[in-house]
Structures are given as structure tokens and as C-alpha cells.
Structure 1
């Protein structure tokens, strides 16, 4: 069966108009008329049988369906542009597409990726990050670093890390609040940093407080951040006490930008896995990345950070 793919001209028109929220600016960028942009968008909407744009008081806005569609279209156009540029320059290489959670990408994967590139200069890495767990099921990538049970239908999953979680803060904040009093009294001096993530019912604070015997502690205040990545950054900057999760905080603990002022550590029921479909797991580029990842992401590092 022939794949259902709209014309490249209509996709380019949509991507530009969606990015600028303006048919006029899209026309200028693509060196066509505004009427041509309108025709391409209308043709795409007819082909998809959905509405992509709405107008309110001369303001252009994306529909919810268009917002989701834009992410995939932008990534596809970017990959086409890179592949075409490499072909034009007669650059022969292999592309490895990796999907990863943002916090893991920033704190664990990216710091070590240069080593993979040095070992395999013929492989070009495309790293896609998303905090939406459902996006890992679309399998448009070659391999992913996923968080969960490791039991995903039709997938090969290799364990990278277990996980524990516990409170962390900056050493400067800890020093400013002092060490006098009981553990509960010291906890109560902190502003608590909480993590909001739409796929979770609650963050890790209730489980840790129960395990430590401090479920009734009243904190000095509370701040809420979306995603572990931003909560951890807020803790590093001294905004309060956050729940840190290994391996995401290992580098900060090793460097001393974060400290763990309380002893209780709770083992998580979820872990980090290297995952790919059964078919893609046999690709040479995936095999090379798996071999490297299991050797370099899942073992303690010389800098003292455990992975």
C-alpha cells in the first residue's frame, strides 16, 4: 500500500505558517504569494480532513491537532534538510535516531555522547527529547532511553539504571538554614520544591516523607516546577529542597552543586532502560549504540558519579 504522505510543498507551507502564525510571513520566507500559502494549507486540511488553523479577531492560532502535527512535521523537515545537505556535499554517514526524556538527556546522556561520536564518527546522532511517555510508543526512532518497568510489548529492553530518590539542595542553602534541631525541625525550615508532571498522579515527596517518618512536617513554603529537569535546576540555584532521583543527580552530587542533607533513600519501582523494537534492535547502528550505552551509561564513572 502506498503511504499516505501529503505534498512537501503543503507541509513546508504549514510548518512555516504554524511557526510564524502568519500566512504573510510564511509567504515571504518561502518566496511565494500569500494566496499560494492559503491554497497549500487548504489542500492539506482537505487531505487530512481536519482544521489546522483558526482565526479570532485577525489572530491566527493552531488547533490542538495542528499543534501535535507540527512537532512531527518540523522534525521530518529538519531531517530531510540535513540528509539533503549531506548528500549534496557527498557526505556518507549513518543516522541514529535516539528518543530520550529531557532530564536524562541533559544530565546523563549528552555529557557522555562525545565519546560515542569519537568512537563512531560515521554515525550522525539525532536526539529527540519528550516528556510525554506516549510518544515513545510511536517507534519513529531507532532506539530510546525509557523510564518504567521495562515490560513493553514487542520491545527489547536492556536495564541501564535502577533508581532511588531523596531530598537534595544546594550546599549554600543548607549552610544558611543551619543544622540545629531534629530532622523534622530542619526539614520545616526549607521551602519544598515540588515537581508537576501530567503523566504522574503525584511527585515523590509523599512516599519519601512516609518512609522517613515525617509525613506531618509543615514546610516553610512551596514552589512548583514542571518536570524533574526544572525542579533540579531550581534546587541547584538554592530555591529550596527538591526530591532528587538517581542517576539524574549523580553528577551534581559528585561536583558538590547538590548535597543530600537527610539520610533516608527510597528505592523506586521504575528504572531506566535502553529500548528498541525487535527489528530495529538488530540494526548495526543500534547494536553499536547499545554496546556503548551499556558500557558507559550503566556503570560508575571515574568522576565519582554513579550511573
Structure 2
């Protein structure tokens, strides 16, 4: 049997009467007669099997059951009001699920999102991050900013950023080191290393070899988990770290990081805006892909 649901009119009558503690004022608000309000309340009480109002010395008050019921009634009316307003204004709420690596989210995507939201106010972005590449294999997302070769099965991938890596540090660490040889500069600074689980993943050896300083020495070493923390350490002056474009572009532009040397190494990996082929033609996915390709091409 279908459960009993009171009419919306009786719920509105109850809510207004409970709020005003007056049938007369409730009737005025709802543009009904006091008799009509009384009838709605009486019908509701009969169906609920409990009293909702009591009169004490000509003053109206709520019973304990009514106070408890009023909380749920208010919630229900609020939900209906919001849904009605959205429908009346003919606004739809399209959700787009985007996933990417944490460092990319923090340094690149989140600062750019206000531009996307201004251009597509009807799309709500749900941003998820994962430090492991396994998450991207599940294809539970609409769009992913993926890092790698660009060759993944059943995925559309468009090149978003190429990558270069090179040492960066806070400007103040170079005070007094101007004019010195690169090897001397490194020897005066603490090396910031980045590891993922048990492996170093910062490409210091590749850069040192490319710069002709494979056997360079440092003043010390500090080790951080993930690029997000090692780059933050570099900004705060902990030492010199390997920075990677586009992750450090904003910090370089703002002067929070500087590039002490003129040797950059091209990476074999890049960033791609991707989507499962089954979703790649959806309007919301196409909107984000077109925006990302345009926005970041002008940002670099």
C-alpha cells in the first residue's frame, strides 16, 4: 500500500501556522480564510493521529510531536522550493567529473577554473585527484589531464603541454652566489629530492648529466614525497629542486622561483587532456576540451 503523504496545501498551512503561532496570520500569508487553515490543520492531525497545536490562555503553542515534525516539513518545503525555482528559470545543472594528478591540479588547473566557470556557468566541475596512475585506468571520469606518452587504449588524448625540467630555487638563495660557476652554486645549496613511494622521481641525475655536472656535490639533501611538497619546499627556500613545466610556470612568472642555470632538458612525457572514447563527443566534455586547449595554449 502506498504510504500516506499529506497534501502540500496542508503542509504549507501547518508550517505557516507553526511559524506565526497564529491561524489568523497564517491565513493572511497564504491568502486563505482562517476557517480554511483550521480545516487543513484538523485534517492533518486526523491523518497523523496526533495533536499538533494546543491553546493555553488564548495562546497557540506547538506540541512536542509538532516541533519534531516541523523540522522535516521545513526541509521538504525548502527542497521543493529550490527545485521549483531551478525549473522555473529553466536552468540545468550539468556535472563534469575531471581527474588529474595533485600537483597539476594545484599549480595549473585550479587557478584556471574560474575562467572555465565564467564561460560555462551551467557546468558544475567535480575535481578529483589521484597520485597513482591506476586511477586513470578505471575510466570513471569524464575528462582527465593525464601525464605520459599520450597512447592509452580506448581514450581520446589531445596534447595540452610539453614538459621540460631544470633546477629552480627561491631567489634569496642565490644572494652572494652571482658570478660563480654552476658547480659552485650547487655546492652552496641543499638538494631537494622528490620521491614516490620508495623511488626518486625528480630527474636530478638526467639534468646533471645534461649539464655536464654528473658528479656535482651539494651542501646537503632534503627529501619530500611528491612534487607538490618538493616544489613548496623550493618556494620556501629549503633548497634547490628540479622544476617541471608547466607546474612551475606561475611561480617563475611571479618571481617566487628562479632558474639559476640555462640548461633545460626536454621530457619524454607530456600532459594530455583525455576522455574515454565513449564520452569524448559529449557536449560537456567537448566544452572542457576545447576550453583547455585554447586556454593553456595562450597561457604558455
Which TM-score applies when normalising by structure 1? 0.67
Q: CA deviation at 1:185?
A: 1.1
- 1:226/1:201 Cα in 2 relative to 1: closer, same or farther (>3 Å)? closer
Matched, 1:230 2:229: yes
3-state SS in 1 of match to 2:291? helix
3-state SS in 1 of match to 2:280? helix
- 1:199/1:289 Cα in 2 relative to 1: closer, same or farther (>3 Å)? farther
Kindly indicate whether the alpha-carbon contact (under 8 Å) linking 1:195 and 1:203 is maintained by their aligned counterparts in 2: yes
Alpha-carbon displacement from aligned partner over 1:86-122 (angstroms, at most 9, x marks no partner): 8883243000000011111111111110111111111
Kindly indicate whether the alpha-carbon contact (under 8 Å) linking 1:158 and 1:275 is maintained by their aligned counterparts in 2: yes
Q: Aligned partners of 2:228 and 2:133: how far apart in 1?
A: 15
Residue 13 of structure 2 corresponds to which residue in structure 1? none
- 1:242/1:86 Cα in 2 relative to 1: closer, same or farther (>3 Å)? farther
Please give the root-mean-square deviation of Cα atoms over the aligned residues, in Å. Answer: 1.7
3-state SS in 2 of match to 1:281? coil
- 1:208/1:128 Cα in 2 relative to 1: closer, same or farther (>3 Å)? same
Residue 218 of structure 2 corresponds to which residue in structure 1? 219
Alpha-carbon displacement from aligned partner over 1:127-158 (angstroms, at most 9, x marks no partner): 00111111111111101000000000111000
Q: CA deviation at 1:300?
A: 3.5
What is the correspondence of 1:81-160 to structure 2 with a 5 Å cutoff? 89-90=82-83, 91=86, 92-160=92-160
Report the number of matched residues: 216
Q: Aligned partners of 2:80 and 2:168: how far apart in 1?
A: 48
- 1:191/1:201 Cα in 2 relative to 1: closer, same or farther (>3 Å)? closer
What is the correspondence of 1:179-258 to structure 2 with a 5 Å cutoff? 179-198=178-197, 202-258=201-257
Q: Aligned partners of 2:229 and 2:81: how far apart in 1?
A: 40
Kindly indicate whether the alpha-carbon contact (under 8 Å) linking 1:132 and 1:199 is maintained by their aligned counterparts in 2: no
Which TM-score applies when normalising by structure 2? 0.69
Residue 268 of structure 2 corresponds to which residue in structure 1? 269
Alpha-carbon displacement from aligned partner over 1:180-214 (angstroms, at most 9, x marks no partner): 43211111111000001139664210100010011
3-state SS in 2 of match to 1:282? coil
Q: Aligned partners of 2:122 and 2:220: how far apart in 1?
A: 51
